[in-house]
Chain A
Amino acid sequence: MSVTPATSSHTSQPLGSAFILKKALISALVALVLFSLMIGIRTEAGNQGGLIYWTRFGDLATMVGVVFGGSIIVELLRQWFGPVETDKVVPKPVRAAMSFVGHWLAPALLAFALFVPVIFYHQRYILDLAILVLTYVMLGWGLNVVVGLAGLLDLGYVAFYAVGAYSYALLATNFGLSFWVCLPLAGILASFWGVLLGFPVLRLRGDYLAIVTLAFGEIIRLVITNWQSLTGGPNGVSGIPRPTLFGIPLDNSDDGLAAKLGIEFSPTHRLVFLFYLILAMALLTNWVTIRLRRLPIGRAWEALREDEVACRALGINTTTTKLTAFATGAMFGGFAGAFFATRQGFISPESFTFQESALVLAIVVLGGMGSQLGVALAALAMIGGFELFRGFDQYRMLVFGMAMVILMIWRPRGLVGHRAPTVYLERSEAISSDLVKEGHG
């Protein structure tokens, strides 16, 4: 009655092509049995009340073929990437290709981003979409500091986005300050609100923190909606000045950039300018975050995510550490908000609903908390993917929900789950996501 070790390892280890083929054949057989009646034969009531039927063997064969092929693909994927807790057997060439892609993906994406306005110069829609994606990349990178590094679950990130947007809109329309003066001010004001939010929530952890930040996001939106005399309430603020290239407007006036350069004016000029502006801002966010991770403050954020009690025992002031994380994340949100205001030219409270917070948080979680590349990929997939499915309007959310469920089964710690060490003696080896903590809020 003894179970030999061979049998137990037999069941836990994925097998070769014979196993995959067998599994696919069984799936195909089941599909054949099921579909033979559902698809293979079609019946209908005839004119005289009799039953007429006809066969559709072509469709049946297609369906069975799809199940057969799909089964093979799913099994291969399962063995190579695998959901958690399955053994992964990755053939060498596939592994080499994956590591090659992992190494060159970020530089390739950056190079591609630099040339987007050149490649898609005549496709306004794509340029607009690229600007939108980059805005979310920047928001994701900003929130990543709070959620990914410090492990504080923030559901009200949109509040800082709103503070940044309204800071610029109000300062520019009321006092005539330029975008370049308002940009740092928007960041400072947003991080000020980040600190203000930080103080009461410092004692809270996990779910409680999430609820309070959620409430904070709603409070900011409600204040903006109801403070009619300042913010214009639900009507929003319109006529927000467009950004200038250090004082040179990008319009068809006589002192516009086009006139100065002696080229024909085109509205695309402004789009291209906006694209490079948000690209520069996003890259700045990325650079600062990468830099901060290697400084004591960044290490303290990550240590806080790993174990708060140990941090206190090592003399780390957890209060200021959390506050700086909130303030830094909020500052980037504020910058992005100012950009949003200048791009739209019009803002209203409707742009700053909870859905935006949830979207940015989803980007961070899907990307892999703490991973800069993962967040960029997730923003591209979420925002770009959303637009891609605009045609199938009704099914968009359905497809999206399914994609998320599948992704969470396959890669519960996000697209890029592992963590890169910030300092090393001999070799820098990625740390598996199984060890890295998510933080407790």
Chain B
Amino acid sequence: MSDAPILTVEHLMMRFGGIVAVNDLSFNADRRKITALIGPNGAGKTTVFNCITGFYRPSGGAIRLNHDDGRTIHLERLNDFRISKQASVARTFQNIRLFPGMTALENLMVAQHNALMRASGLTVLGLIGAPSWRSAERAAIELARTWLARVGLLDRADDAAGNLAYGDQRRLEIARAMCTEPTLLCLDEPAAGLNARESGALNELLLSIRAEQGTSILLIEHDMSVVMEISDHVVVMDYGVKIAEGTPQAVRDDPKVIAAYLGADEDEAIAVMEKAN
């Protein structure tokens, strides 16, 4: 068990043609901690996420994942499905991406694809119904059942994912990501569209995932009640660069952050703050 940060982003750069979406961004995400990435709309948060999870190949910089077992994986060299398969980084999406025509249980079974593929002997053992495959399948269903219970969807297990309520879909997507047994869980706006009660439940879920699974969490969020309550470390971005970083309290009181959110000058922001206090 090393104390090195789980994720180290160094001088990350992402260009789309002439537009620089992320410029020289460096930050760490600590092991078994919840790191929040915040910033106004268009600050480049989701672009950072897409670089980390392999949907974009960064134009420059390094993203290192330091595993518990001491392996260091350069995420910028992996792409596509390998990030999840080899580096065990899981993610959710800002606009929920479940498999709507499959049941909640099936969604969680698909998430265990790689483990089940090995167990089914690349389909051969599964086709002949070998006992080793049967027991692996039962174990996979058990894991799925555990996660359905954790997110409170056990009674909806056999319902189509597309038929679930919005908040339930959000939680199912987190459960699906957790079924890949990740070391780093990346959540893109998990509280978007949730009401106060639901986002409270989300906070508890994320804290319990950190405590029980020891999973490190990186999240993008607009809902400040989530960010301020559960995150251990906050990184603030604006126009593709990092403008502040620190504990939730420190960031909340940073004039640069307030200026970025209010779209005002720093001096004006300080004035606003003083008035508020």
Contacts and interface: CB of A to CB of B under 8 A. Distances in A.
Interface of A: 288, 291-292, 295-297, 299-300, 302-303, 306-307, 309-318, 419, 421-429, 431-432, 435-437
Contacts of A313: 53, 84, 90-91, 93, 97, 177
Contacts of A307: 97-99
A315 B105 contact: no
B162 interface: yes
B126 interface: yes
Contact of A314 (B110, B157, B160, B162): B110
Contacts of A306: 99-102
A313 B98 CA distance: 11
A423 B110 contact: no
A428 B102 CA distance: 12
24 contacts: A296-B109, A296-B112, A296-B126, A302-B101, A303-B99, A303-B102, A306-B102, A312-B80, A313-B90, A314-B113, A315-B82, A315-B180, A316-B81, A421-B106, A422-B109, A423-B103, A423-B106, A423-B109, A423-B141, A431-B101, A431-B102, A431-B160, A435-B101, A435-B163
Given A313-B90, A314-B180, A288 B105 contact: no
Interface string B150-163: 00001001111011
A356 to B, nearest CB: 29
B51 interface: no
Given A306-B100, A425-B157, A437-B100, A296 B116 contact: yes
A292 B101 contact: no
- Best-surrounded residue of A306, A314, A429 (most CB of chain B within 10 A): A314
Contacts of A302: 99, 101-102
Contacts of B160: 431-432, 435
Contact of A315 (B85, B97, B141, B158): B85
B1 interface: no
A433 to B, nearest CB: 8
Interface string B173-217: 000110010000000000000000000000000000000000000
Interface size class of B (residues with CB under 8 A): 35 or more
B276 interface: no
Given A314-B110, A424-B158, A425-B145, 9 more contacts: A299-B109, A302-B101, A313-B97, A316-B81, A317-B81, A423-B141, A425-B158, A427-B158, A435-B163
B240 to A, nearest CB: 23
Given A310-B99, A314-B176, A318-B81, A296 B113 contact: yes
B111 interface: yes
Nearest to B136: A296
A310 B93 contact: yes
Contacts of A315: 81-85, 113-114, 180
Q: Which 7 A-B pairs have the closest CB atoms?
A: A315-B84, A436-B101, A306-B99, A315-B85, A435-B162, A296-B116, A310-B97
Interface string B225-259: 00000000000000000000000000000000000
Contacts of B84: 312-315
A296 B101 CA distance: 16
B141 to A, nearest CB: 7
Contacts of A288: 127
Contact of A296 (B117, B159, B180): B117
B157 A295 contact: no
A428 B106 CA distance: 12
A302 B99 CA distance: 9
Interface in B133-155: 141, 145, 154
A310 B97 CA distance: 6
Contacts of A426: 157-158
A436 B109 CA distance: 17
Contacts of B91: 313
Given A291-B127, A315-B81, A300 B101 contact: no
Interface in B65-121: 80-85, 90-91, 93, 97-103, 105-106, 109-114, 116-117, 120
Contacts of B113: 296, 299-300, 303, 314-316
Contacts of B127: 288, 291-292, 295
B106 A299 contact: yes
Nearest to A434: B162
B53 A297 contact: no
A437 B123 CA distance: 25
Contacts of A425: 105, 141, 145, 154, 157-158
A422 B140 CA distance: 14
B103 A424 contact: yes
A291 B133 CA distance: 13
B3 to A, nearest CB: 27
Contacts of B158: 421, 424-429
Contacts of B103: 421, 423-424, 431
Contacts of B93: 309-310, 313
- Best-surrounded residue of A303, A310, A421 (most CB of chain B within 10 A): A310
B176 A297 contact: no
A5 B99 CA distance: 36
A367 B116 CA distance: 31
Nearest to A291: B127
Nearest to A300: B113
Contacts of B82: 315
A431 B157 CA distance: 13
- Best-surrounded residue of A302, A306, A435 (most CB of chain B within 10 A): A306
Contacts of A429: 158-159
